[in-house]
Structure 1
Amino acid sequence: MSSPSPYQPAGGTAGLASVRALVNTALDILEEVSAERLGPVSPGGARGVREAAGKALAQPLLPEAGGEPSVVLDELVRPYAKWAVDLTHPAALARMQPPPTPVGVAAELVAATLNQSLHAWESGPFGLELDRWVIAQLAEFVGYGPEAGGTLTAGGSVSNLMAMVAARDETVNTKLGRWVRQEGLLNLGVQLVVLCPQGIHFSIGRATRILGIGEDQVVLVPTDEQGRMIPAEADRILASLPEDQVPVALVACAGSTDLGVVDPLPELAEVARKHGVWLHADAAYAGGALFSERLRGMLDGLAETDSVTIDLHKIGWAPASSAALLVRREETLAPFGLEATTCLSADDDTCAGYIGSQNTSLQTTRRVDALKIAVTMRALGRERLGAMVDACHDLARHAAARIAAEPRLECLTEPPLTAVLFRYLPGDGIDVDAFNGALRRRMLEDGRALLARTHLQQDGVSRVWLKLIFLNPETTPENLDHVLDELLATAAELEAEQRCQS
């Protein structure tokens, strides 16, 4: 005979008691695992985590008889936590994942417990009001006016995709008098193109594939010595396009993920207005600079764009996912709307104020991510949030100075934001790119530090660079110096091994 079902509705009185007990169990597990940690990740690398997963996941996903919830929780949460990246550790420097605020984590629990959705009024009444308020506030931070709109998304890639959908449909409608959502692209009689700089995020190219524009129709605009798009070149290209090529969008970097490049937005806005082209700014990474008095100026011109991508689960310290697409005119989100005759959108309900958000998103069922964003930002406040941004920027500048002072390390450039690119320089006879790739993997396997890597085209050759990303304002310069000392020691060991093998 199967055991009694552990199911109790989480939002009810009995269910809340169960949630409290199970959350305490989970927190106990996290504390125990945390006490055993020696680094930002358990040592063992890719093989170690696969072996651990093989043991923990040996039982079927859906057994014939269910288990006791606290036991099941322990079986899966413990290995999950053991092999999770400890984002609070000062050597966790690989990715744009900050340790979230406790109040944001608590809000996540509330959102999961109440399980509201934003697609229809009856699925989340207060959540809808909260969502609209957060979008309006974020649009105001960017500098948009009261006619602005937007939506919270699952991440910057989704925001960029939605921006390209809005740009495509707006362009085709205004310039060609056609409606893509009804007619499609087959009989337009023109080729749509997108302009962007070399360093734009890969999600823009992916968006052109999904939208039927095609990556071959992405036109790269030349950049200056700092990697910034040259407005005069964008103007030249737009002016020289043949009549059968219609520009859908001019896409600007507002903080590239490698070098923190911010394209000259005011000048690009002038170019976009001159040619009647949609200007989109990908500020997924650098959008948080708006909270810093020191760094805010680097985003001048953001308010002149037609759309902006911003991730508050990067520089914003909200739990993922906390991303947004903001548009200067709410009406440009029309491609995501539904016909009023559907079960989710009736005219009489809309006139009475019973309005869901299904007309502003790719998603139908959509969780209330606005709650964790709202409590995080309100709890931190502008002053504290700005200080956190500045602290991470200070760490990046300290890292660049320390790297520049080391004869075996090379720093690529002074960091404008919170990321630093560098590499170790082994002696003659050792391939620099292969060595730095191996060095990073050795650090990952030992669990000493988590570093990212990237590839940059230099003199026609793809070069490997290591990357430090600072999104934990509690990290100290001394912590960072220890990480670099560990890296130098590991590099010396690896270099000695490779010379012995050669």
Structure 2
Amino acid sequence: MRAAPPPLAGGVPGADALRPLLGAVLDALRTGAEERGGPLPAGGPEAVARRTAALGAVLPETGTGPDEALRTLVHALAAGAADPADPLCAAHLHTPPLALAAAADLAASALNPSMDSWDQAPAASALEALVTTALAAEIHPGAPRPDALVTTGGTESNQLALLLARERTGPVRTVVGANAHHSFRRAAWLLGLPAPVVVPTPHGTLEPGALDAALTVTPGPLLVAATAGTTDEGLVDPLPALADVCAAHGADLHVDAAYGGPVLFSRTHRRLLDGLDRARTVTVDLHKLGWQPAAAGLLAVRDTTDLAALAHTADYLNADDDTDAGLPDLLGRSPRTTRRPDVLKAAVTLRALGRTGLGALVDTCMDLAQDLADRIEKTPGLDLRARPALTTVLFRPHDADDTEVAAIRRSLLTGGRAVLGRARADGRLWLKATLLNPHATPGDLDQLITLVEGSAHR
């Protein structure tokens, strides 16, 4: 006689089936973090791989049962994690997710709607329509028909922006600053478009005069990709002036605001994004300055008709007679077919915190960056690259060369003491602190500086 199959997560019994398993997961997350004792595991890649391999067979002949499997593997993952919730884990645009967003993501996983046909995601598709319309209106206020697509993040959003431009105009040529994200080059390659024209950005941002000169000699059709929050320094291009240059040359403007876009929630700092509304398409990631579990990307458009190029028919998902009968057609909402209801966690966060609550989180992290910059300036042995524009701070020991800067970063990583990024600016290598943890304290900032100083003096 066959054993009963394992319980499912959905339906009425699903909550009772999940409850004891969640206890095992939460216990393992706690004990794993306690064992790690810092922002990431000590010992470097070989030590982590060795400890992971010691867990035993990935596919045993006889299973160990749900409690043991969850406790063992979740504990191992937590103990070996680079945990963005630790204030000393500050290398990348990798945010510590809010607990409420992670809880909402559990519900999305349990219900498991697939956002490619209405009969798989009735409420989820309706909720996605409400949230994307509201966020598109934040990005393009006053536009008659703004809209947004949910994406896996900036790379997919930027690729979609190029795809939509190609479908509007033919073989569009993308013009980017040297500060632009690497995804534009890859997107052009994937879409069979010419390689982007790269405009030098010696001061870190795309300058209007340099863009004007490039557009003057580059045959169209043209799509200019500006940046609101560069990956290396968190800089914001001068969007109003760039929009003027684009208008003068008949070029469309796309803004990659994957990092900086959520600054719109801040009444204090939203002026940094003046001119964003003049872009035809805008990339925003809520898994950066929105504190969502990945993935939570958006591509916003000024006019929903621009999305018509994504229309696609698969008879088993969006047959014409079903669409004519009123069933929403979801295939035109993404180039992907099966996709998660990633909008749920964002919707819960927006409702729970509101614009004011999200803006306060943005302001806190912006203030932390300024505070860290102040402390670095007052530390005689450290050099600050520049005052931060968003939440990224570049610094380095005063007398260190690039080889030493790289070695300091790796020493902190392999020791499990701190996670800092690296960025090249002004011809030199810098340590990069990306401050996305609103719970970080002045003491954490001091500890970061102390760790860097200590590693530099070895």
* TM-score, structure 1 as length reference: 0.87
1:205 is displaced (CA, Å) by: 0.9
**Structure 2 CA distance for partners of 1:442 and 1:6, relative to 1, 3 Å:** farther
Counterpart in the other structure of 2:180? 200
Report 1:234-253 matches (<5 A): 234-241=211-218, 245-253=219-227
Provide the rounded CA distance (Å) in 1 between the counterparts of 2:386 and 2:67. Answer: 50
Aligned to 1:333, what secondary structure does the other structure show? helix
Aligned to 1:36, what secondary structure does the other structure show? helix
Confirm or deny: 8 A CA contact 2:8 2:17 kept in the other structure.
Answer: no
Q: Would you say 1:4 and 2:6 are equivalent positions? A: no
1:448 is displaced (CA, Å) by: 1.1
Counterpart in the other structure of 2:245? 271
Give the letter aligned to residue 21 of structure 2: L
1:193 is displaced (CA, Å) by: 2.1
Provide the rounded CA distance (Å) in 1 between the counterparts of 2:58 and 2:234. Answer: 45
Aligned to 1:420, what secondary structure does the other structure show? strand
Instruction: For residues 449-493 of structure 1, give each alpha carbon's deviation from its aligned partner in whole angstroms, at most 9, with x where no partner exists.
Output: 11111223x3xx4x3211001101111112111121122112212
Give the letter aligned to residue 143 of structure 1: H
Q: Would you say 1:487 and 2:456 are equivalent positions? A: no
Counterpart in the other structure of 1:163? 161
Report 1:275-286 matches (<5 A): 275-286=249-260
Question: Which one of the candidate residues 148, 151, 163 is aligned to 1:150?
Answer: 148
Confirm or deny: 8 A CA contact 2:39 2:88 kept in the other structure.
Answer: yes
Provide the rounded CA distance (Å) in 2 between the counterparts of 1:90 and 1:15. Answer: 36
Give the letter aligned to residue 198 of structure 2: L
Aligned to 2:332, what secondary structure does the other structure show? coil
Q: Would you say 1:88 and 2:61 are equivalent positions? A: no
Instruction: For residues 280-315 of structure 1, give each alpha carbon's deviation from its aligned partner in whole angstroms, at most 9, with x where no partner exists.
Output: 000000011111112100101111101000000100
Report 1:248-327 matches (<5 A): 248-327=222-301
Confirm or deny: 8 A CA contact 2:412 2:418 kept in the other structure.
Answer: yes
**Structure 2 CA distance for partners of 1:451 and 1:337, relative to 1, 3 Å:** same
Give the letter aligned to residue 166 of structure 1: L
**Structure 2 CA distance for partners of 1:425 and 1:413, relative to 1, 3 Å:** same
Counterpart in the other structure of 2:68? 71
Confirm or deny: 8 A CA contact 1:168 1:248 kept in the other structure.
Answer: no
Instruction: For residues 79-134 of structure 1, give each alpha carbon's deviation from its aligned partner in whole angstroms, at most 9, with x where no partner exists.
Output: 11100122222211112222211211111110000000111010000000111111
Aligned to 2:54, what secondary structure does the other structure show? helix
Give the letter aligned to residue 489 of structure 1: G
Instruction: For residues 230-265 of structure 1, give each alpha carbon's deviation from its aligned partner in whole angstroms, at most 9, with x where no partner exists.
Output: 223323332333xxx433411001111222221222
Give the letter aligned to residue 293 of structure 1: R
Provide the rounded CA distance (Å) in 1 between the counterparts of 2:292 and 2:243. Answer: 30
**Structure 2 CA distance for partners of 1:5 and 1:42, relative to 1, 3 Å:** farther
Aligned to 1:454, what secondary structure does the other structure show? strand
1:28 is displaced (CA, Å) by: 1.1
Aligned to 2:450, what secondary structure does the other structure show? helix
Provide the rounded CA distance (Å) in 1 between the counterparts of 2:95 and 2:333. Answer: 28
Confirm or deny: 8 A CA contact 1:269 1:301 kept in the other structure.
Answer: yes
Provide the rounded CA distance (Å) in 1 between the counterparts of 2:216 and 2:33. Answer: 59
Provide the rounded CA distance (Å) in 2 between the counterparts of 1:221 and 1:298. Answer: 22
- Segments of 5+ residues of structure 2 without an aligned counterpart are none
Confirm or deny: 8 A CA contact 1:41 1:84 kept in the other structure.
Answer: yes
Confirm or deny: 8 A CA contact 1:334 1:360 kept in the other structure.
Answer: no
1:331 is displaced (CA, Å) by: 1.8
Instruction: For residues 386-427 of structure 1, give each alpha carbon's deviation from its aligned partner in whole angstroms, at most 9, with x where no partner exists.
Output: 111111111111111211222221111100100001112336
Instruction: For residues 18-41 of structure 1, give each alpha carbon's deviation from its aligned partner in whole angstroms, at most 9, with x where no partner exists.
Output: 211111110011122233342111
**Structure 2 CA distance for partners of 1:485 and 1:16, relative to 1, 3 Å:** same
Give the letter aligned to residue 383 of structure 1: T
Question: Which one of the candidate residues 107, 110, 122 is aligned to 1:110?
Answer: 107
* TM-score, structure 2 as length reference: 0.95
Provide the rounded CA distance (Å) in 1 between the counterparts of 2:387 and 2:197. Answer: 28
1:222 is displaced (CA, Å) by: 4.1
Counterpart in the other structure of 1:60? 58
Aligned to 1:40, what secondary structure does the other structure show? coil
Instruction: For residues 34-71 of structure 1, give each alpha carbon's deviation from its aligned partner in whole angstroms, at most 9, with x where no partner exists.
Output: 33342111211112111112112x3133x433331111
Confirm or deny: 8 A CA contact 1:5 1:66 kept in the other structure.
Answer: no
Q: Report the more deviating stretch, 245-254 or 316-325.
A: 245-254
Confirm or deny: 8 A CA contact 2:95 2:288 kept in the other structure.
Answer: yes
Confirm or deny: 8 A CA contact 2:140 2:302 kept in the other structure.
Answer: no
Instruction: For residues 321-355 of structure 1, give each alpha carbon's deviation from its aligned partner in whole angstroms, at most 9, with x where no partner exists.
Output: 1110111121222332114x632223332233211
- Segments of 5+ residues of structure 1 without an aligned counterpart are 173-190, 494-502
Provide the rounded CA distance (Å) in 1 between the counterparts of 2:281 and 2:172. Answer: 19
Aligned to 1:453, what secondary structure does the other structure show? strand
Structure having the higher Rg: 1
Counterpart in the other structure of 2:346? 373
**Structure 2 CA distance for partners of 1:343 and 1:274, relative to 1, 3 Å:** farther
Provide the rounded CA distance (Å) in 1 between the counterparts of 2:297 and 2:172. Answer: 27
Query: What is the percent sequence identity of the aligned residues?
Result: 40
**Structure 2 CA distance for partners of 1:160 and 1:19, relative to 1, 3 Å:** same
Report 1:360-439 matches (<5 A): 360-426=333-399, 432-439=401-408
Q: Would you say 1:135 and 2:115 are equivalent positions? A: no
Give the letter aligned to residue 302 of structure 2: R
CA RMSD of aligned residues (A): 1.9
Provide the rounded CA distance (Å) in 2 between the counterparts of 1:237 and 1:35. Answer: 54
Give the letter aligned to residue 197 of structure 1: G
Q: Report the more deviating stretch, 65-74 or 3-12.
A: 3-12
Aligned to 2:282, what secondary structure does the other structure show? strand
Provide the rounded CA distance (Å) in 2 between the counterparts of 1:384 and 1:311. Answer: 18
Provide the rounded CA distance (Å) in 2 between the counterparts of 1:52 and 1:212. Answer: 43
Confirm or deny: 8 A CA contact 1:171 1:278 kept in the other structure.
Answer: no
Aligned to 2:420, what secondary structure does the other structure show? strand
Provide the rounded CA distance (Å) in 1 between the counterparts of 2:92 and 2:178. Answer: 21
Confirm or deny: 8 A CA contact 1:226 1:261 kept in the other structure.
Answer: no
